[in-house]
Structure 1
């Protein structure tokens, strides 16, 4: 039997040698023509090698991996009535969901039959996140009346969302959050503080802007909680980061990995060294910005790609929106399909078996680092302008995001394909959704709109 020395048969090849071979194969076409620039302004090389990865700060990058593989499949359910919603909650948990995001916005919480709503559910085992509308403390008080044990899940309350979206000041919402956090310190797995990038993403922000403005939002909120008497150890361990995941597959993977790097860097400024041992909790949801009403079943493809990017990027919880979310009230069928996307990624693709599957990819490791550095630079620039609220009032956030959105529109106009919208569009026999009425925006503040990229082409 012949012994093969693979090192002699396949000697190492440097990046310069690869480049030389590519130039030869191009037969006169310039090598630079293979490079492209991402929407974030990052130059993307035609190929990457170990030399690119070896130049990165690998010791710091180990934080992108999180603590353990896998994620929670979280279904979003909108409240209807106490009885109907209880049935929907129990059905979702019995059909593969690990947790539920219960949308309570617009609900009169004082008149709700909470015992009936949560009948048969044990929040110490089945995590439920409650999306409230400024009444976080009121919700916690109600739960405490009949749930004496430690809770799992949390509160999805975004005090700056209405400010950035409609110009409504956070006001009492910040005080409600502080008190809800204080009252649930004995339930470490019940996270009361949510910081999300959705308002930026749905206005058309690129990945750098989403990450940077999310950090600015965190500083603004944490300043308020510190003023309310909470310590960094108390509010940092009660925080959920919720991000939208779009269709740019590799960029979105790198975005979630960069978020962990940036978060560790930000937390380091709060003089809480023990927090480095705490597991950051990242909730990801598929994007409505990239969904279409034309040929809407293509939203299933978008949602699957986005879900894969989210779990490979390392999310701890995943919500897949039903394909008809942007034009209809999702029903049992679309809800089941959405939930099953996450389940299939676990049970058939086995993506929950590996911790940080993107680790070692020359391209993704490099892109993660580049996104983190560009986002940190923008974050610091906003802080130099006085922070999130002052930069918002000065129009900086809207102006920066508007540039990104217009660039995305131009890319589609100039040939970028939106499957089922600008190409491969067919009549699937679905009713054309009614046009969405524009929100009433105040003239006094440069608020952020909610958009869909496909809307201009449908």
Structure 2
């Protein structure tokens, strides 16, 4: 085998960035490259189209396995075993959970995480995880499964003390309890008083082989954080846990081994890789301040729940595939892929199989586990990682200045920061600057909802309801990016189920196909994102034909589609004809202009419109109900 590096660039003439920029300016025809080609992350970090050696941060880690472990904790690839393929079990009934775990282990998973039900015990809603009332229920979950294959992890939410007692009663060793008391407090699932103390008590009880604590980024990411905010939250949570353990008399080095981290990854490929790398660097920085220079952290990754849609749910398979690839390239050692039907209820066996097969294909066919730090040395990623780590560290310092994560949660400063980020993102979703494929863009009105797992309520244990407690004043609210548009779709479907008709809009197409085609497609896509079916006219010769076609369509609203030139010539007359024919609202697909103001156009629909608000108004008019 030839171990020499092949100089791939040697056969090409050398090129400079100035030469590249000159070619770019020629293509852009006078547009400013900085404003046209440079994008920004949700944290405001600029991402340029081209990076070079000068963009590498000073003092960056040059080798894998070296402090601060940005490039990973191991100087060798993870072959032959690869990363830990962890499946999350959310089957509510213990017997269903046991069957799901057996299938997952037989299908290639290397560990299982039991998600313990919160909703049923706290709010009385349908369960969102395994329902356990006693150690016997947990025994039923793992009964008959070959114990050496059962690498067990928990996501118990606020019930980590009870879950630990069940596991202790069964004599389970080597498990990860993953208690995140501050995450549970942030969600309003448990009182702040005593939350951290109860988790620390578990960590200090001397139980062999348990890892007790985990700072879970999914808690914060699912509430709408940016990447820097998620990093700041988990690192600040880790610091709070570390401080509490040391105050109980545990050494800093031993305490660090009791704390794990999990981050959410979505379809933002570059930022996701940078986030995972930055997490290792930041935690190494924290441990370094405690005199621990060999304290690497194995970061877990989970595909983000907020990116999953209920509509066109099959598209979630593409989202989770990108997110999984991101996690691998970012060096995650444990990866959990949420099934594509996760947001619809208890996942089906088919959905779980597809979820685990994403990882298996990337490992066994793509052989990605044999690559050491796939993103290492990439100028763009190294630069983004450095900027993200610095911004996240500023967030950590702000939380510490407020007295630590617990006090910051009580005062609400963390929630305020997250709310601003969440609102900004949801505004981008509403205006389609950040489209949700299959929902706000390219919607499928008659999509088929995947069949989820079935649940027999009679098979569920009956745990004691949670005693009343006072949560923090402003608990985090979970969000999904698609939920605003999906509410509109639900209203439209309910209308169709009630009287057999879906709300509709008449597209009045003026001029030839070349003149109206692009805007008619845009209007169709826009209205159908809200569940309003688009009825497209044939090319209309004049305003009279437009009014007659509208009257025959059965619609109550209309949208004019054509070229700018046609609008100047005909839009006023067409709008008047549509109103005369009974249109209760007339839209125009295009930009508002002085010439068209007062022309009978009620709403202009274009790429900068607040599409969600426009659709909510349309639904209110057509259905009489505003979501």
Verify same fold: TM over 0.5: yes
Q: How does 1:349-364 map to 2 (within 5 A)?
A: 349-364=366-381
**Counterpart contact for 2:110–2:149, Cα < 8 Å:** no
**Counterpart contact for 2:69–2:284, Cα < 8 Å:** no
Q: How does 1:225-264 map to 2 (within 5 A)?
A: 225-264=245-284
- Structure 1 pair 108/302, CA: closer, same or farther in 2 (3 Å)? closer
**Counterpart contact for 1:398–1:447, Cα < 8 Å:** yes
Q: Whole-Å Cα distance in 2 between the matches of residues 351 and 259 of structure 1? A: 21
Match of 1:271? 291
What are structure 1's unaligned runs of at least 5 residues?
Answer: 434-439
Q: Whole-Å Cα distance in 1 between the matches of residues 213 and 394 of structure 2? A: 25
Match of 1:323 among 340, 350, 363: 340
Q: Equivalent residue of 1:250, what SS? A: helix
Match of 2:558? none
Q: Equivalent residue of 1:64, what SS? A: coil
Match of 1:429? 448
Match of 2:234? 214
**Counterpart contact for 1:174–1:225, Cα < 8 Å:** no
Match of 1:447 among 469, 475, 491: 475
Match of 2:51? 48
Q: Whole-Å Cα distance in 1 between the matches of residues 406 and 335 of structure 2? A: 29
Q: Equivalent residue of 1:326, what SS? A: helix
Q: Deviations over 1:408-455 (max 9, x none)?
A: 12222333321001112112222899xxxxxx9979612211111111
- Structure 1 pair 55/133, CA: closer, same or farther in 2 (3 Å)? closer
> Is 1:127 equivalent to 2:130 in the alignment?
no
Q: Equivalent residue of 1:210, what SS? A: helix
RMSD: 2.9
Q: How does 1:366-377 map to 2 (within 5 A)?
A: 366-377=383-394
Q: Whole-Å Cα distance in 1 between the matches of residues 9 and 261 of structure 2? A: 45
Q: How does 1:289-304 map to 2 (within 5 A)?
A: 289-304=306-321
**Counterpart contact for 1:212–1:379, Cα < 8 Å:** yes
> Is 1:387 equivalent to 2:387 in the alignment?
no
- Structure 1 pair 178/409, CA: closer, same or farther in 2 (3 Å)? closer
> Is 1:193 equivalent to 2:213 in the alignment?
yes
Q: Equivalent residue of 1:41, what SS? A: coil
- Structure 1 pair 142/457, CA: closer, same or farther in 2 (3 Å)? closer
Q: Deviations over 1:305-324 (max 9, x none)?
A: 11111111111111111111
**Counterpart contact for 1:82–1:112, Cα < 8 Å:** no
Q: How many Å apart are 1:104 and its aligned residue?
A: 2.9
**Counterpart contact for 2:185–2:195, Cα < 8 Å:** no
**Counterpart contact for 1:155–1:193, Cα < 8 Å:** yes
Match of 1:436? none
Q: Deviations over 1:298-353 (max 9, x none)?
A: 11111111111111111111111111111221111111111111111111221111
Q: How many Å apart are 1:220 and its aligned residue?
A: 1.8
Q: Equivalent residue of 2:70, what SS? A: helix
Q: Equivalent residue of 2:264, what SS? A: strand
**Counterpart contact for 2:94–2:132, Cα < 8 Å:** no
- Structure 1 pair 175/400, CA: closer, same or farther in 2 (3 Å)? closer
Q: Deviations over 1:44-63 (max 9, x none)?
A: 11211122126562346653
Q: How many Å apart are 1:244 and its aligned residue?
A: 1.2
Q: Deviations over 1:241-281 (max 9, x none)?
A: 011112211111111111111111111122334xx1x4412
Q: Whole-Å Cα distance in 2 between the matches of residues 122 and 147 of structure 1? A: 15
| TM-score normalised per structure 1 | 0.87
> Is 1:419 equivalent to 2:437 in the alignment?
yes
Q: Whole-Å Cα distance in 2 between the matches of residues 441 and 199 of structure 1? A: 20
With 389-398 and 253-262 compared, the bigger mean Cα shift is at 389-398
Q: Whole-Å Cα distance in 1 between the matches of residues 319 and 132 of structure 2? A: 35
- Structure 1 pair 329/54, CA: closer, same or farther in 2 (3 Å)? closer
**Counterpart contact for 1:135–1:176, Cα < 8 Å:** no
Q: Whole-Å Cα distance in 1 between the matches of residues 150 and 296 of structure 2? A: 19
With 97-106 and 247-256 compared, the bigger mean Cα shift is at 97-106
Match of 1:437? none
Q: Whole-Å Cα distance in 2 between the matches of residues 290 and 356 of structure 1? A: 26
With 110-119 and 378-387 compared, the bigger mean Cα shift is at 110-119
- Structure 1 pair 26/232, CA: closer, same or farther in 2 (3 Å)? same
With 99-108 and 305-314 compared, the bigger mean Cα shift is at 99-108
> Is 1:112 equivalent to 2:122 in the alignment?
no
What are structure 2's unaligned runs of at least 5 residues?
Answer: 1-6, 122-130, 453-467, 487-627
> Is 1:160 equivalent to 2:182 in the alignment?
yes
Q: Whole-Å Cα distance in 1 between the matches of residues 139 and 109 of structure 2? A: 21
Match of 2:110? 98
- Structure 1 pair 81/289, CA: closer, same or farther in 2 (3 Å)? closer
**Counterpart contact for 1:193–1:235, Cα < 8 Å:** no
Q: Whole-Å Cα distance in 2 between the matches of residues 330 and 401 of structure 1? A: 29
- Structure 1 pair 220/62, CA: closer, same or farther in 2 (3 Å)? closer
**Counterpart contact for 2:190–2:469, Cα < 8 Å:** no
Q: Whole-Å Cα distance in 2 between the matches of residues 443 and 152 of structure 1? A: 32
Q: Whole-Å Cα distance in 2 between the matches of residues 147 and 443 of structure 1? A: 33
Q: How many Å apart are 1:110 and its aligned residue?
A: 3.6
Match of 1:19? 21
Match of 1:178 among 200, 210, 235: 200
With 306-315 and 412-421 compared, the bigger mean Cα shift is at 412-421
- Structure 1 pair 216/191, CA: closer, same or farther in 2 (3 Å)? same
Q: Whole-Å Cα distance in 2 between the matches of residues 258 and 121 of structure 1? A: 38
Q: Equivalent residue of 2:347, what SS? A: coil
Specify the structure having the higher radius of gyration (Cα): 2
Q: Whole-Å Cα distance in 1 between the matches of residues 308 and 397 of structure 2? A: 32
